[in-house]
Amino acid sequence: GQQLNQSPQSMFIQEGEDVSMNCTSSSIFNTWLWYKQDPGEGPVLLIALYKAGELTSNGRLTAQFGITRKDSFLNISASIPSDVGIYFCAGHRQGAQKLVFGQGTRLTINP
Amino acid sequence: DSGVTQTPKHLITATGQRVTLRCSPRSGDLSVYWYQQSLDQGLQFLIHYYNGEERAKGNILERFSAQQFPDLHSELNLSSLELGDSALYFCASSVGTSGAQDTQYFGPGTRLTVL
């Protein structure tokens, strides 16, 4: 099925570093969502974006809905060990019932 | 805790068998979505029910079926199981069905292993 292009696929960083990941699509999206998934668990919603240009923060996390409505990014500042996991972007195209997911970014933090 | 519950958490069965996965949505949510997550496929949308009615189908095999009951819980039935059906199966729920601004919340998943 259709997926969003999410990058990078994996990141290996030092604790305390900032992280940036993004999702792009050739289609226009009305909603962008960012989820985090821990091993063996379900995805947990981090941030939801509903308007082009919207910039939303959740603690050390900041996400933006791209002006073109075809992309979104997620930043994590001052990473800590519990940030380890897989981050997924997801979005709704206008009128679509189906939530489309990116392939995920696996974040590994070296202490 | 998302408020979405799924049972069982783990399921081990043999090829050719049939299993049923259960999902209870968050209180007040009318939509239930089923997803399959395997190592090489990522999260794949299977099917969506809203208030008891099927609303959308994704990459769901004919061997799989689902339903949503009057109390809004949903069951995903997987039959004639194959080794490749081994995966995590997630249920998500949302309030409505309009897509945008209708955020989906995921359950903890059921890990199915077919031997």
Name the residue among B28, B26, B68 with its Cα closest to residue B47: B68
Q: Which residues of A touch B33 (CB under 8 A)?
A: 99
CA distance B18 to chain A (A): 23
Strand A55-58, strand A44-49: pairing: unpaired
Name the residue among A3, A21, A1 with its Cα closest to residue A11: A21
Inter-chain CB proximity A3 and B4 less than 8 Å: no
Neighbours of A97 (CB within 10 A): 19
What would the two tokens of residue A75 be? 């930043």
Nearest to B42 among A44, A94, A103 (CB): A103
Inter-chain CB proximity B58 and A48 less than 8 Å: no
For A38, which residue in chain B has the nearest alpha carbon? Answer: B108
Instruction: Using the predicted structure, report yes or no on whether residue B11 has a pLDDT greater than 90.
Output: yes
Find all residues with CB under 8 Å of B61, minimum gap 6, and list them: none
Average pLDDT over residues A9-30: 94
B8 cis-preceded (ω within 30 degrees of 0): yes
What would the two tokens of residue B11 be? 């399921």
What would the two tokens of residue A92 be? 């709704």
Q: Which residues of A touch B57 (CB under 8 A)?
A: none
Residue A108, Cα to own-chain centre: how many angstroms?
15
Q: What is the pLDDT of residues B62-103, one digit of tens each?
A: 999 999 999 999 999 999 999 999 999 999 999 887 665 678
Mean pLDDT of chain A: 91
Q: What is the pLDDT of residues A62-103, one digit of tens each?
A: 999 999 999 999 999 999 999 999 999 998 887 676 788 999
Instruction: Using the predicted structure, report yes or no on whether residue A1 has a pLDDT greater than 60.
Output: no
The answer to whether the CB of A21 falls within 8 A of the CB of A8 is yes
